[in-house]
Amino acid sequence: MKLFSFLKKQKEVIDIDIPEGPVHKSQNVAKDEEIYYERVEVKEQYSLSEIKGIEGKKNKLKERQEEFEKKVTDLYHSYSFLRLFAKAADKDKYFNEKMILIDKSINRIKKQHEDYKRKSDLIKYVDLNEDELETINSSLNALFNFYDDLNKEINKVKTKYYKHLKMTSFGICSDKSYQELDNINKNINQFISEYKNINDAYDFIYYNSGSLIVDTVKALMECIENSNNEELKSMYKYNYFLDSDFVVAFSFPEWVELFTKIKYVMRTASKVELFDYLKFKKLYDELETRYILMLIHSEMRK
């Protein structure tokens, strides 16, 4: 019994003065916006437990991943559109802060998205048990939740700061991938950097795009003439797009009309000679960059 005599040791009483309030107030207070995206509401988590068999669970994961890929691609597109037309946003003092937060969140979800794809690739090559599949499914749940929160924020920004934008601006971007929008944004910023500001860049485009306009339309006509689509050849001639071979300056409404026609024909014309199409596409991309810059400038004027 002496072995356990230490258990009978008398208790030591320690008096500690507890202050009513904090002794030193911390200067490092997190701003509300800095922790905004960490506040995630509790959501119901989808489980694979009701799906029978390993193959059934794998198929369900694949189905859910395809659903997420579509949603997140649309999210990236919305974000890229906001960045492209940021100069035309109806800004207040909070706009830049909100966009910085969204920038950071987009970078985070892209990283988590890539991490998830690496994990999900294991399904193709490694025999996984039910617990391992559920772990992958939990990562996908987290991505869906992140997407939902970020999508709400992007829609709030779009509604508050971009509600004045015209359908022409949305329309020119609707059939492009978010990667294409990012590239256009990069090209436009590079173009503007060669001038004092966007106003000077606009003036240059207005008075110095005549030859590019004519060359682009002629290249499109070559595509049509070299195609096997006889109906297309009979419907669209050069004068459908331009009145003459010489363009000094195009008013903004004339730019809109020309691109409306070109975009319509591009959707209609599917059978073209590849070489001729590539020649046209190079000219078209340059002209489109100028056109979108003009759209941005027009939206800035509200």
Q: How many CB atoms lie within 10 A of CB 256?
A: 19
Q: What pLDDT is recorded for position 126?
A: 87
Dihedral Cα 134, 136, 138, 140, nearest 10 deg: -140
Catalogue the long-range contacts made by 186-191 (C-beta closer than 8 Å, 24 or more residues apart): 187/289, 188/84, 188/289, 188/292, 188/293, 188/296, 191/289, 191/290, 191/293
Q: What pLDDT is recorded for position 206?
A: 95
Please give the Cα distance from 141 to 49 (Å, whole number): 14
Q: What pLDDT is recorded for position 124?
A: 84
Q: What pLDDT is recorded for position 18?
A: 38
**Spans of all domains in the chain:** 52-163, 190-301
Phi and psi (nearest 5°) for 49?
-60, -30
pLDDT tens figures, 122-180: 888 888 899 999 999 999 999 999 999 999 999 999 999 999 999 999 999 999 999 99
Average pLDDT over residues 86-101: 96
pLDDT tens figures, 230-281: 888 899 999 999 999 999 889 999 999 999 999 999 888 775 665 678 899 9
Identify the helix (H) or strand (E) that includes residue 299.
Answer: helix 274-301
pLDDT tens figures, 97-127: 999 999 999 999 999 999 999 989 888 888 8
pTM score: 0.81
User: Where is pLDDT greater, at 202 or 21?
Assistant: 202
Please give the Cα distance from 73 to 30 (Å, whole number): 32
Please give the Cα distance from 32 to 278 (Å, whole number): 51
Q: CA-CA distances (angstroms) from residue 91 to 31, 94, 156?
A: 21, 8, 13
* Residue 133 and residue 58 in contact, taking contact as beta carbons nearer than 8 Å: yes
CATH of the structural domain 52-163, one choice from 1.20.1270, 1.20.120, 1.10.287, 1.10.10 = 1.20.1270
